[in-house]
């Protein structure tokens, strides 16, 4: 992998990731951009003990542009975009409308491919491996920033999720604190260790593999299953079989197998509701250990993939119980979801 760093016209960092070492990236951003103005502020909720990012500048961010004005496509035919070059493989750049900035963290955009009409499931194993390398490299670099406590790489896909740019892309949030969800996992892991002397994540994965009814796909180095207490109608958790705390510590064998496993899961997601339905909206979220938190070595890197669509033409809305009290009600039994996801395997 070759990594090329450059700057956009307003000073934001942009990084090209290429599979060939002889690739040359010399394009310059000629747009007349002024400096990025952000108003990110972290406020702490005294009752819940969590944090909220206040980012009013995001009200003016780009919203559903036509395909011929997509800011994530390469700069071609006289049209200038966020990516100065006329082609690219994988690109990461600082978000112009970040939720977190400066002492409040950092937000980046990850473009998985230059093909506007593709999806992650379409990009092929070599390209998916390059995306994994980019996620890992960004985790490494962001971990070195003194204000960053945790790195979260994720993809939102589909308007139902709230996506405002149709080009296949994801984001990376570098938080200046440990997120509430991760903190809860760490507390559960510490309690489990104190009670049993064992690792909670290892026990969860061992239980799913032993019972088998919720396992969706298993390779030599990865296992994917619908969790016993799934919150979402169709939800898959993907774990490396050798527990590691974050992307930086994955071994070569797991890296090599990941593209095949992950692309198959994404293809199955698109088949859940049949060919007549539009592509399945989803969120794909990497859970990594915070860099300095107690119990970091007990944490297990994993990816959670889920959709807000509960059946054909119907969405799972977070209503009173979920939004008001954080108690999820799932209409699809996890065993049924796993059976369906096995049923739609690639032939």
Supply the residues annotated as catalytic: 169
Strand partners, 31: none
Determine if residue 107 is labeled as part of a ligand binding site: no
Biggest CA-to-CA distance, the chain: 64
* CA distances in angstroms from 231 to 126, 155, 310, 328, listed in the order given: 32, 18, 11, 6
| Strands in the chain per DSSP E | 2-7, 13-18, 41-44, 51-54, 90-94, 106-111, 150-157, 169-175, 215-218, 222-225, 234-240, 282-287, 302-307, 309-311, 314-315
Contact 84, 28 (CB under 8 A): yes
Strand partners, 111: 91, 169
Residue in the block written with tokens 């003194």: 146
* Cα–Cα distance measured from residue 128 to residue 319, given in angstroms and rounded to the nearest whole number: 35
Helix residue ranges, H only, 228-309: 252-271
* CA distances in angstroms from 331 to 233, 309, 310, 343, listed in the order given: 6, 11, 7, 19
Helix (H, G, I), strand (E, B) or coil at 15: strand
Determine if residue 192 is labeled as part of a ligand binding site: no
Contact 42, 51 (CB under 8 A): yes
As annotated, the binding site includes 70, 73, 116, 167
Please state the residue numbers annotated as binding site for Zn(2+): 70, 73, 116, 167
């Amino acid at each position: 992998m070759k990594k090329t760093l450059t700057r956009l016209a307003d000073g934001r960092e942009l990084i090209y990731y290429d599979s060939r070492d002889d690739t040359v990236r010399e394009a310059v951003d000629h747009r007349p951009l002024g400096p990025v103005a952000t108003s990110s502020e972290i406020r702490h909720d005294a009752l819940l003990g969590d944090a909220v990012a206040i980012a009013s500048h995001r009200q003016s961010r780009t919203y559903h542009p036509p395909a011929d004005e997509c800011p994530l496509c390469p700069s071609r035919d006289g049209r200038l975009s966020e990516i100065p070059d006329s082609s690219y493989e994988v690109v990461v750049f600082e978000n112009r409308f970040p939720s977190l900035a400066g002492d409040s963290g950092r937000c980046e955009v990850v473009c998985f491919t230059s093909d506007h009409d593709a999806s992650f499931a379409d990009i092929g194993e070599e390209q998916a491996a390059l995306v994994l390398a980019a996620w890992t490299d960004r985790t490494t670099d962001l971990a070195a920033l003194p204000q960053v406590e945790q790195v979260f790489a994720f993809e939102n896909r589909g308007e139902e999720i709230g996506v405002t740019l149709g080009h296949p892309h994801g984001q990376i949030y570098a938080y200046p604190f440990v997120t509430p969800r991760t903190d809860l996992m760490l507390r559960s892991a510490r309690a489990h260790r104190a009670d049993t002397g064992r690792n909670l994540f290892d026990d969860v994965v061992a239980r799913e593999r032993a019972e088998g009814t919720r396992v969706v796909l298993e390779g030599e180095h990865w296992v994917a299953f619908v969790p016993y207490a799934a919150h979402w109608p169709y939800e898959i958790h993907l774990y490396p079989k050798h527990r590691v705390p974050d992307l930086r510590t994955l071994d070569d064998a797991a890296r090599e197998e990941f593209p095949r496993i992950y692309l198959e899961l994404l293809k199955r997601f698109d088949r859940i509701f049949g060919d007549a339905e539009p592509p399945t909206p989803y969120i794909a979220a990497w859970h990594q250990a915070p860099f300095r938190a107690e119990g970091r070595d007990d944490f297990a890197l994993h990816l959670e993939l889920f959709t807000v669509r509960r059946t054909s033409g119907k969405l799972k809305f977070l209503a009173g119980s979920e939004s008001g009290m954080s108690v999820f009600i799932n209409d699809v039994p996890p065993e049924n979801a796993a059976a369906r996801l096995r049923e739609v395997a690639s032939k």
